[in-house]
Structure 1
Amino acid sequence: MPNGISPIADADDLCRLSAAELNAAYRTGALSPVEVTMAALARAEAINPLFNAFTMIDRKAAIDAAGASEKRWRTGEPQSAADGIPTTLKDIVWVEGWGVRYGSRTTSAAPCDRDAPAVALLRRAGAVFIGQTTTPEFGWKAITDSGLCGITRNPWNADKTPGGSSGGAAVAAATGAGVFHLGTDGGGSIRIPASFTGIAGLKPTFGRVPAYPSSAFGTVAHIGPMARSAADLSAMAEAMSGRDLSDWQQGAGTLTPLGRIEATLEGARIGYWSKPPSGVLDGEIAATISQALGHFERFGATVDAVDLSGGDLLGLFQHHWFTGAAARLALIPENERAGIDPGFLEIARAGAAFDAKALVAAQLQRGEFGAAMDRLLDTYDFIVSPGTSVPAFDVGLEVPSGSGLSRWTEWAAFSYPINLSQQPACVIPCGMTAAGLPVGFQIIGARGDDARVLSAAADLEAAFRPLTQTFGLKDVA
């Protein structure tokens, strides 16, 4: 494997274990949260000089939290299935006692005085926070590098990007540096790095996971779990979901509970979305996805070709994303902008040039597209697609060399439409390229149907095992 290491093959045995396996071992006393946390910390410290996944590793706080978890398990009173599970948090959510920089030199390093709601829920569940993972500046792009933290690299080939903006979380997951990994996804920032690094990632239904403060990018921005399996995604999503009164955008309603749903794919009607609304689908990825689709036959599922309506979805997304960048930039004084990522400045200035009429028109168009997606997912049980239209490409670039593209949004076309429409979407690995890079498979469900999406993903993981075991994923079936 050129310039990289096998993400799982070199990990300690303790770093291979799932949340369910750890729960069972904690319950019997065969393992302690302290020894598992120590193994995760050692793994994080070993891989960070190679791939730059972490901005900070909090050894003391992690060991203290693990010790408290160990006492709870010994007395038979764990706080949840997440109790004692090593967890990482992206440098874009508030964590009490940590400096949260959003990958930017323009932000303060002062420790936060409170947790973001999702972090508070994980802490209440007993998760052990081992460190903070890298992001590009303000999470603005689908690769992970910044002037503050440098370049994050893909463990399958260190010359390639792990994607972004949750690239550090993806690398931590792929290399066994923790079990649960909190990511954010405004245009694919969980699902793209999941595809590029061969892990699992879920963009939940918007509002399932509470957020505060609200993202400058508005209601396209989701918070969700990243892990090495759909089962771990489900366990983490359960721990970080809930109502929080600081998040008005959640709405007042409730969402269906998470949990395993049997036979989600038996006789299901599947829509296969293969034409990206921008850019071109790589031929090798298309062939890998086509091979993966053959596994639906064993479930008696039918697969139809579908396309997404909605007109210029790239332009629609960019109206929302670029104006969000403009809003974020407006908070930074002019005399502090010299070191900001030039690409972020470009899209922010483009967003500032949109007039109010254009923005309102984009919001109305988004509503029409969202309703069309709801109708499509009333007809089909799931929509499936490639995770990305391209494999991981060289670090330091926003777009693949020689592609003729200018912005990351143009190659992220299987991701950003689902941020506009807010359905749950899960990416799992389904194969690899001839160059040894993972290929992701995306499963999309109706809003609120996160549990069905995760159950389908778990079934497909088992079906895809012959395609994935060659690049070292743990057998979690």
Structure 2
Amino acid sequence: MLDDPGIASAHARNDGVSTLNDEDTRETTVTSISSLSAAELQPLYASGELSPVAVANDALARIERFEPEVNAFTVRDDKVTLAMAEAAEARYLRKEPLGPLDGVPVTIKDNIGVAGWPMRRGSAVGSDAPWPEDAPATARLREAGAVFLGKTTMPEYGWKGVGDSPQSGITRNPWGTGTGPGGSSSGAAVCAALNLGCIHIGTDGAGSVRIPAAFTGVVGLKPTYGRVPAFPVSTMGFLAHLGPLTRTVTDTALAMNAIARPDARDMTAVLDEPLDYVAGLPGGVKGLRLAWSPKLGGDVAVDPEIAALTKAAAMAFQELGATVEEVDPGFADPIETLMTLWGAGAALALRNAGPDDRKRMDPGLVAVAEAGEKVSGTAYVDALLNQRNALAHRMAQFHARFDLLLTPTLPLPAFEVGRDTPAHGGYGEDWTRWTPFTYPFNITQAPAISLPCGLTKAGLPAGLQVIGAFGRDALVLRAAAAFEFARPFARVDAPIKSV
């Protein structure tokens, strides 16, 4: 599959930071703007070899070309995009850039506020009115000089792990347009895969950054809860994290440097001094104790190719100097805890939606909300406090023995587009049945990242999940950078048509 002209192999330095010191590399890279990462753009902007306006125009041209095939955007305003790029270019000409993300193109998921653009949350009944203010992550990116390309698609209210909605239709996977990209950060993952912008901000309430990252072969980080503030707060409450999707671990770290900062509008935001996640990337994994859990102790059916690819990826950490032991963390599937909180959150989201509105909405979302309306206050508080705390305590004990936990991100490759579950029926009709590796770590609020770790025979990506103890985001990123250097990721440069 790597012989396909639409696919290239990515490489990075040992510290995860790309370099343009070699003159031949510079000439080759600059002639292919579509391949550049955020880390590679800044030195080219600073030297005058490339301009933010040229990069923005290149991204807009590729969006125009690919959007009919993948349907990744809900909002675009090219005038706003180019005005932001022109402002960034003027700062570079004055030798006054705002930082490493000045002039870097980014996208924002449709459930995150951008001042002046609507926030429909993927809903058929969402408002077209301009949102009045930037969300915290959006504000930090604007302050850093990032260039906004638009807002990206998601299922209605982010309720499921696939990429269709009544508002925007079906979003397609660039690795095979007959398959779906996963969700709920669907458009963000597609844009990351095709490098339509370098940094893409998504949300993750049960896997919604990591699921599409695995299906589309990109890096997707769910930070520790509170690292990236939210406003308005999600109806999914303490399950919902904000995090970046990118092509490289370094770009993920750059994004975190910008967005992982306190904001007074979120009372749960971490108030610690912000970390430099890029500076923390070197160091490798030598001496770390890693656990490999191929099924998290459950009976989930893992596709044989995914099982082989993820096991090989996990064992690659041994070659990097870590110890890897196959062991399960020892907790039962927390699906009931998830669905108690998920259903109540959906009920809250739809509390003002009357019968006529609900007829226009995704029937699956309406069903979850109606089930959530029956959740008692006692059951909700028990799930929110007791059950979450018990699982978090179990994982804290586990991480006293192991620095990191490795699992497949998902047990299967991307499946038929427009479906909530694969047509073969092996996972029933409930989308959470094929996401057992992601949602437990929303309940614990721990950091987890999905990394591309190979392609199936059909040319579809597999994802390896790396989970850290609560607050150990820097360690998760450090391990991810070491893996990226040892096992360069395959990339797709244009949508691959499939049925």
Q: Is the 8 A contact 2:107 2:201 kept in 1?
A: yes
What value does the CA root-mean-square deviation take over the aligned residues?
2.0
Q: Is the 8 A contact 2:183 2:208 kept in 1?
A: yes
Which is worse superposed, 447-456 or 42-51? 447-456
Against the structure 1 CA distance between its residues 433 and 137, is the aligned structure 2 distance closer, same or farther, given a 3 Å change threshold?
A: same
Q: Choose from 302, 307, 328 the match for 1:307.
A: 328
What letter matches 2:246 in structure 1? A
What letter matches 1:427 in structure 2? S
Q: Write the deviation string for residues 67-111 of structure 1: whole angstroms up to 9, x where unpaired.
A: 110111122211121110000111111100101110112121000
Percentage identity across aligned positions? 43
Give the Cα–Cα distance (whole angstroms) in 1 for the partners of residues 387 and 133 of structure 2.
Answer: 37
Q: Is the 8 A contact 1:5 1:155 kept in 2?
A: no
Give the Cα–Cα distance (whole angstroms) in 2 for the partners of residues 433 and 166 of structure 1.
Answer: 23
Against the structure 1 CA distance between its residues 226 and 470, is the aligned structure 2 distance closer, same or farther, given a 3 Å change threshold?
A: closer
Equivalence for 1:368 = 390
Q: CA offset at residue 196 of structure 1? A: 0.3
Equivalence for 1:6 = 6
1:353 has 2:353 as partner: no
Equivalence for 2:357 = 336
Give the Cα–Cα distance (whole angstroms) in 2 for the partners of residues 305 and 472 of structure 1.
Answer: 36
Give the Cα–Cα distance (whole angstroms) in 2 for the partners of residues 359 and 105 of structure 1.
Answer: 28
Give the Cα–Cα distance (whole angstroms) in 2 for the partners of residues 125 and 64 of structure 1.
Answer: 15
Give the Cα–Cα distance (whole angstroms) in 2 for the partners of residues 247 and 469 of structure 1.
Answer: 37
Q: Is the 8 A contact 2:184 2:208 kept in 1?
A: yes
What letter matches 1:339 in structure 2? R
Q: Write the deviation string for residues 10-29 of structure 1: whole angstroms up to 9, x where unpaired.
A: x9810210112101101100
Give the Cα–Cα distance (whole angstroms) in 2 for the partners of residues 260 and 453 of structure 1.
Answer: 13
Instruction: Provide the TM-score with structure 1 as the length reference.
Output: 0.94
Which is worse superposed, 300-309 or 73-82? 300-309
Equivalence for 2:164 = 145
Instruction: Provide the TM-score with structure 2 as the length reference.
Output: 0.90
Against the structure 1 CA distance between its residues 377 and 331, is the aligned structure 2 distance closer, same or farther, given a 3 Å change threshold?
A: farther
Equivalence for 1:272 = 292
Q: CA offset at residue 471 of structure 1? A: 6.2
Equivalence for 2:17 = none
Q: Write the deviation string for residues 147-180 of structure 1: whole angstroms up to 9, x where unpaired.
A: 1110000111111000000110111111121111
Does the residue aligned with 1:20 lie in a helix, a strand or coil? helix
Q: Is the 8 A contact 1:43 1:176 kept in 2?
A: no
Against the structure 1 CA distance between its residues 210 and 404, is the aligned structure 2 distance closer, same or farther, given a 3 Å change threshold?
A: closer
Which is worse superposed, 178-187 or 274-283? 274-283
What letter matches 2:218 in structure 1? I
Q: Is the 8 A contact 2:108 2:188 kept in 1?
A: yes
Unaligned runs of 5+ in 2: 10-28, 495-499
* Number of residue pairs matched by the alignment: 468
Does the residue aligned with 1:311 lie in a helix, a strand or coil? coil
Give the Cα–Cα distance (whole angstroms) in 1 for the partners of residues 372 and 329 of structure 2.
Answer: 25
Unaligned runs of 5+ in 1: none
1:208 has 2:230 as partner: no
Residues 7-406 of structure 1: pairs in structure 2 closer than 5 A: 13-250=32-269, 252-254=271-273, 256-261=275-280, 262-276=282-296, 277=298, 279-363=300-384, 364-401=386-423, 402-406=425-429
Against the structure 1 CA distance between its residues 5 and 97, is the aligned structure 2 distance closer, same or farther, given a 3 Å change threshold?
A: farther
Q: Is the 8 A contact 2:314 2:406 kept in 1?
A: no
Q: CA offset at residue 472 of structure 1? A: 7.0
Does the residue aligned with 1:275 lie in a helix, a strand or coil? coil
Give the Cα–Cα distance (whole angstroms) in 1 for the partners of residues 422 and 262 of structure 2.
Answer: 40
Which is worse superposed, 12-21 or 153-162? 12-21
Does the residue aligned with 1:22 lie in a helix, a strand or coil? helix
What letter matches 1:382 in structure 2? L
Against the structure 1 CA distance between its residues 469 and 118, is the aligned structure 2 distance closer, same or farther, given a 3 Å change threshold?
A: closer
Give the Cα–Cα distance (whole angstroms) in 2 for the partners of residues 472 and 158 of structure 1.
Answer: 13
What letter matches 1:95 in structure 2? V
What letter matches 2:326 in structure 1? A
Q: Write the deviation string for residues 407-426 of structure 1: whole angstroms up to 9, x where unpaired.
A: 11111111101111111111
Q: Is the 8 A contact 1:8 1:175 kept in 2?
A: no
Which is worse superposed, 374-383 or 239-248? 374-383
What letter matches 2:342 in structure 1? W
Equivalence for 1:426 = 449
Q: CA offset at residue 251 of structure 1? A: 5.1
- Larger RCO (CA within 8 A; separation ≥ 6): 2
Q: CA offset at residue 56 of structure 1? A: 2.2
Does the residue aligned with 2:295 lie in a helix, a strand or coil? coil
Q: CA offset at residue 382 of structure 1? A: 0.9
Give the Cα–Cα distance (whole angstroms) in 1 for the partners of residues 218 and 391 of structure 2.
Answer: 29
Q: Write the deviation string for residues 412-464 of structure 1: whole angstroms up to 9, x where unpaired.
A: 11110111111111111110111110001111112222122112111101111
Does the residue aligned with 2:359 lie in a helix, a strand or coil? coil
Q: Choose from 436, 444, 447 the match for 2:467.
A: 444
